[in-house]
Structure 1
């Protein structure tokens, strides 16, 4: 598969530390907006989250990581520790966040020992120093053996300017031209219910384990943006938290995870909706697709874990019949059968995403559109209402990406829904627009 991660000569700064010391708060402070989920509950950040930061002449990627526990037995703690180590290996500079109020913990000491062995440049950020009166609390952190501690308050902003200046001093200026000349990216939101294989898909595409994957539903809490090139196209994959029915959404962290997922849908170009072949098409799968339709995004539907039903012909037949039955009104959505685990069909998803992205940008020439309309209404007139004959005089495509069509009529308010659906179906048969929701508007003929 011709996909590879985009390599840039931009340094990476990684935030590390034990749980609940304020890493995500610092991440949000440094990038200037609330991206990572912040909560008093330990272990909220599970995946590595990345953003681009510009400060003076410096430009760097900032990476937020999960709370680090060197000897954790919990499945999440083990996976988080592995991902933190991977992030550290990729880092040009480390920000080791500690808590001024609790002092040096045993975990802090172990992390410091690990960081000293790695010999990467490291700044000790003593968080929760809300003012000069707490500066004396920083002195004990010299014992970590990682240089002079930098007092900060991630939540209040104290010392952040000094920290950025130090980061800039270590990294030096960065050429910004590659970013400016970067081609326009196609944003792809990876959506689906919990544990349908979204993060496995992302890791498979990238060719390395970049997003946390376990068998426990709800592993991904934040949305994660990952860049790659595929067949000459610049893609940004947005891995998201699993979307559940509103009645099952818990308060706090899960609520914000779902909110971020909705935001990811709003800013994507194409929504890739994954489902579980063992369960077939569920009502929640359809609800996720409908959200993408309402947002007017391109849509690709992939039935994942097909390897688990590959030799069960009866199950396959049941799934296909279920799709045919439940996709009424969604026939334009392309359906693929894939296995992220075995990599079967993964390239088909990316190929289809590229096709759908192009379909969203398609523009029909006015002459072709109106020839189509004239031929259609000559054979199938809109139904009369209250004895009034409905005429469709002409049409224009008002916009693309997503496509909007405006039809002019003598009685636009009386063009019935069933005729609008018929009109859309015929237009799709003539011009395509696979995977692309359309908007039809009917206006009074001038």
Structure 2
């Protein structure tokens, strides 16, 4: 990475996610008073005294592998430790030193990475006895903090950045394409992330709702920079029961808002349902470049007509994103998965495409000659000229004498004309009508 990486680790329920949110300056990790809320690694940028760095939040490390996800969470924490330049080990002063704390400390000593010991949940900073016993962990001086109230986090940040290499040791990242992967639960989003990265980056399970947070993973492929955003499966509101899952759905929708490209993931064995349509509709309404990725293609019995049949059904069910390319993949076998990145590059370029005003008006004029505007209320309708006012998504303003009388079907005709002439594959485009009187 181009920035120092700081991993926050510790046993469950010691306040790691609260500290993560405090240091990041925003509520990104889900915080709730129950163990096991954070299961994967979460990334967020932070800054202190002019030094930018990346923070990783991790699931609480448990040593009882019999518990559901305990082994996977421990593995995720170990990956974060391996990736980090500095490790923040969070302990709970109310509980004192526990056997699990000692086990985590042993792992950290073996890592030979700089460790900052954060003694959390301190209420009285004058009482050193509250945190003095943590010297016994052999990781240096414990720094007392209250992540909940933000007390003494400045001293903690000072200790963290003291371990960073000089600024010159870090190079700037190139602009990375942020790719959000969205879909219903259990369509294979996390499996796809892991297959693209070549590591167990996100916990994969057939238990719906395994991924509770939107998880950012920076990586490089074929010389290009990307950030993959894996998200929780988006369910119907009526099926969301746990408060934590409610937060996750909101987080997934916000991930769409900050993405450059959105992968709308479908399950080849289940087809398109109403929830898929809602998710795709939200992506379209947000004006995001997108690709339809049909996963589990390896499980479908195929003949020479199968793909065409699927194409037809998807286009019928998702008419409003007829501009989106469709790709059939298998996250399990890795079939065609790297084509996703190639398509993401392409639709991102289309999303930012700009057309000159002269080219636009030539195409619009020809379109109106071939299919003239119908009359409106006894007065002839005219579009005088068109100009592109923004990209991402491409947005065009059409100046007309009576814009309120131009039917939406004619705008759709003009949109199709722009697409046939300039592409804009994989991106919504917006046409805005403005009134302008004819010049004398």
Contact 1:57–1:173 at 8 Å: present in 2 too? Answer: no
Which of 89, 102, 120 pairs up with 1:96?
Answer: 89
In structure 2, the partner of 1:115 is: 108
In 2, Cα distance between equivalents of 1:60 and 1:425 = 45
Cα 1:301–1:29 change in 2 (3 A) is same
d(CA) in 2 for partners of 1:191, 1:94: 31
Q: Deviations over 1:247-266 (max 9, x none)?
A: 32335211221122121111
Q: Secondary structure at the match of 1:171?
A: coil
Over residues 182-221 of structure 1, what are the superposed CA-to-partner deviations in whole Å (9 max), with x where a residue is unaligned? 3322221111111211122222222222222222121111
- Inter-partner Cα distance in structure 2 for 1:378 and 1:317: 35
What TM-score does the superposition give when structure 1 sets the normalisation length? 0.92
In the aligned structure 2, how far is the partner of 1:129 from the partner of 1:186? 41
What's the offset of the Cα at 1:134? 4.8
1:354-401 deviation line (CA, Å, top 9, x unaligned): 111111122222222112112211221233333333222221112222
CA deviation vs aligned residue, 1:311-363 (integer Å, no higher than 9, x gap): 47787565334213213232211111111111111121111111111111222
Aligned counterparts of 1:425 and 1:59: Cα–Cα separation in 2: 45
Contact 1:58 1:171 in 2 (8 A): no
- Say yes or no: does 1:205 pair with 2:196: yes
**Distance change in 2, residues 1:421/1:113 (3 Å):** same
Which stretch shows the higher mean deviation, 137-146 or 286-295? 137-146
3-state DSSP class of the match of 2:60? Answer: coil
Does the C-alpha gap of structure 1 residues 59 and 440 become closer, same or farther in structure 2, counting only changes over 3 Å? closer
1:38 matched residue in structure 2: 31
Give matches, 1:207-246, under 5 Å: 207-246=198-237
Equivalent runs, 1:396-435 vs 2, <5 Å: 396-435=387-426
Q: CA 1:106–1:230 in 2, change beyond 3 Å: closer, same or farther?
A: closer
CA distance in 1, matches of 2:229, 2:97: 36
- Change in Cα spacing, 1:271 to 1:57, as seen in structure 2 (3 Å) is closer
Aligned with 1:247 (options 233, 238, 256): 238
Quick one: distance in 2 between partners of 1:187 and 1:255?
24
Residue 271 of structure 2: aligned partner: 280
Q: 1:312 to 1:372 in 2, by over 3 A?
A: closer
- Which stretch shifts more, 54-63 or 292-301? 54-63
Query: Within 2, Cα distance between the matches of 1:313 and 1:103?
Result: 66
Deviations 1:101-152 (CA, angstroms, capped at 9, x unpaired): 1222332233233333444332322110033255322122233233332211
* Correspondence for 2:183: 192
Q: Is residue 125–residue 144 contact of structure 2 (8 Å, CA) maintained in 1?
A: no
Alignment TM-score, normalising by the size of structure 2: 0.93
Matched, 1:87 2:73: no
Distance 1:54 1:329, change over 3 A: closer
**1:324 paired residue number:** 315
Relative to structure 1, the CA distance from residue 302 to residue 86 in structure 2 (aligned partners, 3 Å threshold; closer, same or farther) is same
Alignment partner of 1:364 is 2:355:
yes
* Number of residue equivalences: 437
Match status 1:54 vs 2:54 = no
Cα distance between partner residues in 1 of 2:374 and 2:388 = 24
Conserved 8 A contact 2:122-2:145: yes
Offset at residue 75 of structure 1 (A): 3.1
TM-superposed CA distance for 1:442, in Å, is 0.9
Q: SS at 1:413's partner residue?
A: helix
User: What CA distance in whole angstroms lies between the structure 2 residues aligned with 1:121 and 1:324?
Assistant: 54
- Root-mean-square deviation (Å): 2.1
- From 132, 140, 143, the equivalent of 1:150 is 143
What's the secondary structure of 1:299's corresponding residue?
Answer: strand
Instruction: Return 37-46 or 250-259, whichever deviates more.
Output: 250-259
1-side partners of 2:306 and 2:63: how far apart? 44
Check the 8 A contact 1:195/1:215 in 2, yes or no. yes
In structure 2, runs of 5+ residues without a counterpart are none
Alpha-carbon spacing, 1:142–1:213, altered in 2? closer, same or farther (3 Å): same
Alpha-carbon distance in structure 1 between the residues aligned to 2:305 and 2:342: 29
Is this contact kept in 2: 1:131–1:158, CA < 8 A? no
Asked if the contact 1:57/1:172 (under 8 Å) is kept, the reply is: no
**Is the Cα–Cα contact under 8 Å of residues 21 and 97 in structure 1 kept in the other structure?**
yes
| Alignment equivalent of 2:333, drawn from 342, 346, 361 | 342
